[in-house]
Amino acid sequence: MLLERFNATARSEIDTALRPRLDIQRWINENIPSRPYPSKHAVLACTGRAASPFADGEGNAALQQRLGQAPDEEEPIVREQGREIARLRLDGVLQA
């Protein structure tokens, strides 16, 4: 999803688009109201703050839900979010 489209899309549709990527309602709720984002870096900064740190079990529960699912074609912004989650794991903010 392009940044312009992400910024302009209705809240309910963004919720639906984000949930399969990371099914943590608190994280979704913290990211949606921050729109419009001026850049993809602003998106990553917001998603990182919302994920830092995940509450006990949030990250593990969300990752467990993804096990066994076939990967789909992820759009650039979602791939960036995945990279940010990986960075958070490397930095010790998110536990595997």
Span 2-21, pLDDT tens digits: 889 889 999 888 888 888 77
Provide the mean pLDDT of the chain: 78
Average pLDDT over residues 72-96: 68
Tell me the residue type at 38.
P
Is residue 23 assigned to a domain? yes
pTM here? 0.57
Q: Is residue 96 part of a domain?
A: no
Would you place residue 69 in the very low, low, confident or very high pLDDT band (cuts 50, 70, 90)? low
User: 85 lies in a domain?
Assistant: yes
* Strand stretches in the chain, DSSP E: none
Instruction: Determine the Cα–Cα distance for residues 76 and 40; give it in Å rounded to an integer.
Output: 10
pLDDT at 37: 92
Number of structural domains the chain divides into: 1
What sign does the dihedral 9-1-77-24 (CA atoms) show? positive
* DSSP SS3 for 7: helix
Is the pLDDT at 38 greater than 90? The verdict is yes
Domain limits at 56?
3-90
